[in-house]
Amino acid sequence: MHKRVRKAVFPVAGLGTRILPATKAVPKEMLTVVDKPLIHYAIEEAKAAGIDEFYFVTGRAKSAIEDYFDVGFELEATLRERGKADLLDEMHSWLPTAGEIAYTRQQRPLGLGHAVWCARHLVGDEPFAVIPVDDLMVCEPPCLKQMVDVYAETGGNVVAVVEVPRQETRRYGVLDIVADDGRLARAKGVVEKPDPADAPSTLTIIGRYIIQPEIFARLEETTPGSGGEIQLTDGLAALIADGQAFHGLRAAGRRFDCGDKLGFLEANIALGLSHPELGDGLRRLLQSYL
């Protein structure tokens, strides 16, 4: 039996420079896809995978995230006064209970590996998930749930992966594969943002991870890598070198890179079209533009 994954870390300190000016005064995690902020989708996915403790690694100018998950007394009183019980109930259905969420700060932008390391005292000595919120995964079952199910079999570390054109490997962590059944790949190494010519494969990590707690000690020793940042991928490579299992799952579903303007627009269109109340109207609108 592998230890259950109960905790998730959400690295939300990033500045969102690829989608400026939208993110100048609003955290990118609070940008809405259709009718919910990105952070809402991430929490829903984590809950569906059995996560019950949520840790945010945040930064300056990100307080809107904390407010979003807090009780809004003024809003609630107004809704109650106006007899909008349905809206109130809907909000209470997803609001985390007190103590389920905790926040810590990444004081300097030193990379994804450093952000995860900042949560070491909150996570302690157990496996945990990492969910970068701008990778919006639309999967059934939800992506992290698919990964948790695989982890129950394999143990070790599990990441979500996709195949990319070789010229794009310099944007991702890339797996060095030893076995691959077309759905699940086992890796003997992982490299952050290699040049296409040096990439060990074209199977790349997207933003979902299940990681063993030994990563914290490894990240402590990790020196700045690609882009001068402490890379999570380098910490994972150290775990593989220590003999830990490492698998990449091609999750069934779709990924939207919402840290990118076009990816963000695509997510809004795709989720809008499949929205039960808005889909038909949006389809008609889009047709009138094309």
Shorter beta-carbon distance to ligand G1P: residue 22 or 152:
22
Closer residue to ligand G1P in complex, CB, 166/275: 166
Residue 192 backbone dihedrals phi, psi, to 5 degrees:
-85, 125
Site for ligand G1P in 172-211 (CB under 6 A): 172-173, 192, 204-207
Q: Indicate the residue among 45 and 135 with the shorter CB distance to ligand G1P.
A: 135
* Sites for ligand G1P among residues 125-154 (CB under 6 A): 135
Site residue total, ligand G1P (CB under 6 A): 12
Nearer to ligand G1P, 16 or 37 (CB): 16
Q: Are strands 157-163 and 203-211 parallel, antiparallel or unpaired?
A: antiparallel
The smaller minimum CB distance to ligand G1P, of residues 67 and 220, is found at 220
Only one residue has tokens 């810590």, namely 104
**Minimum distance of ligand G1P from residue 232's CB (angstroms):** 6
User: Per-residue x/- marks for ligand G1P, 156-175, CB under 6 A?
Assistant: ----------------xx--
Q: How far apart are CA 217 and CA 235, in angstroms?
A: 9
State which residue, 15 or 217, has the beta carbon closest to ligand G1P.
15
**Please, which of residues 3-32 interact with ligand G1P by CB under 6 A?**
none
Q: Pick one of 112, 131, 143, 148: the residue that binds ligand G1P (CB under 6 A).
A: 112
Residue nearest to ligand G1P (CB): 173
For residue 4, the minimal CB distance to ligand G1P (Å) is 25
Residue 39: count of CB within 10 angstroms of its CB: 23
Closest approach of ligand G1P to the CB of residue 147, in Å: 14
The nearer residue to ligand G1P, 164 or 273, going by C-beta atoms, is: 164
State which of residues 233, 238, 263, 272 lies at the interface with ligand G1P (CB under 6 A).
233
Binding site for ligand G1P (CB under 6 A): 112, 135, 172-173, 192, 204-207, 231-233
